[in-house]
Amino acid sequence: MTDLWNMLKAEADKGRPILLYGMGNGADKILTVCSAYGIPVADFFASDGFVRGHSFHGRVVLSFAEARKKYGEENMIVLLSFASSRPEVLEAIERVANICEIYIPDVPVCGTELFNTEFYESHKEEITTARNLFADEESRRVYDGIIEYKLTGRMDILRATESSPAEAYRSILHAEAFRIAADLGAYNGDSIRDLRLYAPHLQTVIALEPDRRNFRKLGEYATALREAGDTLDLHPIQAGAWSHTAMLTFQASGNRNAGIADTPAEARGHILPSTNHNPYFGKTAEVPVTALDTVCADVLPGGTHLDYIKYDVEGAEAEALIGSRRIIERHTPALLVSAYHRSADLFRLPLLVHELNPRYKLYLRRMAGVPAWDINLYAVTQ
């Protein structure tokens, strides 16, 4: 199969202009890959009504109407270079797709491994083994669709893998039974708020969040709960989830994607450039990381049964799972593991969960949005 990048190179060699729809970190990563493949990027554009005369990489950002007039809507190839799950934004993207040939490149949130043809061929055995672990046909359908999307960049294939959070919480996780939970990568408490919609009997949540600004908002949420007399006992802990206790370099972005940086500790506090070896940039800091096994031993009374763990730790999911090995072996809590930050997460995380506890039944679902983010691996024993 010819993957997206090789197809784009062939089309660019024929003279077709490649344009990026959107700017920012996603566009920077796509530009890095295009450069590596020798794919020229002709221009950048934004949705009509969102152009304010700004520039990106030294070029004036066009409106969609200007891009169509300059390059011809029947000739240009559009690469979406931002992420969104907002319905109105997805509708705007669909309108562009109805006019122009558009693709959504899959570039990893963490690491530099691309899910291209070479990657797929070199990991085919692991991909097949992980697929065989899924407990239902829908999981296998979603898995196959995500892999096909990653190789082709086709939006129709990606959108066909979407499902509803309600189905996962109610039919797979059975969240109505949860009382004690851990939220690893709690951000500002948004995922705890979401969980409470489906877990009315939730009593206690241990919430780990390493980013200073995010943790402040999480603390404010915990304070608001106490002041309102809410029955939820929320324990915010400013630390990252890991396999053991340590200090690690962290990208202190203050946004949802803040996470452990693939950068040396000596870069702490510096503004890092984006390069082929390090596609991340921004201010870094050192943060404490710890294992959930350790946290639960310190916070919860002995013998407390943990019902549920959510892992959304920006590429550190494997380490965080290993750091909760004892809980997984003894209590078999329901698990939600984000499986999209690194290219290998899609197959390596199911294999790891199965290794940690073969009694789990595994499911895969993906929530609405672009690109292929919010891919959730669920592990349950019921």
Q: What residue spans define the domains of the chain?
A: 1-105, 163-380
3-state secondary structure the chain: CCCHHHHHHHHHHCCCCEEEECCCHHHHHHHHHHHHHCCCCCEEEECCCCCCCCEECCEECEEHHHHHHHHCCCCCEEEECCCECCHHHHHHHHHHHCCCEEECCCCCCCCCCCCCHHHHHHCHHHHHHHHCCECCHHHHHHHHHHHHHHHHCCHHHHHCCEECHHHHHHHHCCHHHCCEEEEECCCCCHHHHHHHHHCCCCCEEEEECCCHHHHHHHHHHHHHHHHCCCCCEEEEECCEECCCCEEEEEECCCCCCCCECCCCHHHCCCEECCCCCCCCCEEEEEEEEECHHHHHHHHCCCCCCCCEEEECCCCCHHHHHHCCHHHHHHHCCEEEEECCCCCCHHHHHHHHHHHHCCCCEEEEEEECCECCCCEEEEEECC
Identical fold for domains 1-105 and 163-380, yes or no, is yes
pLDDT at 261: 60
- At residue 273, the pLDDT reads 41
CATH 3.65.10.10 fits 1-105, yes or no: no
**Assigned fold of 163-380:** Rossmann fold (3.40.50)
Please list the rounded mean pLDDT of every run of 10 residues in the chain (382 residues).
Answer: 94 98 94 97 91 87 96 97 95 96 96 95 98 98 98 98 96 98 98 98 97 96 97 97 92 56 41 42 80 95 92 96 97 98 98 98 97 97 86
Q: What is the pLDDT of residue 149?
A: 98
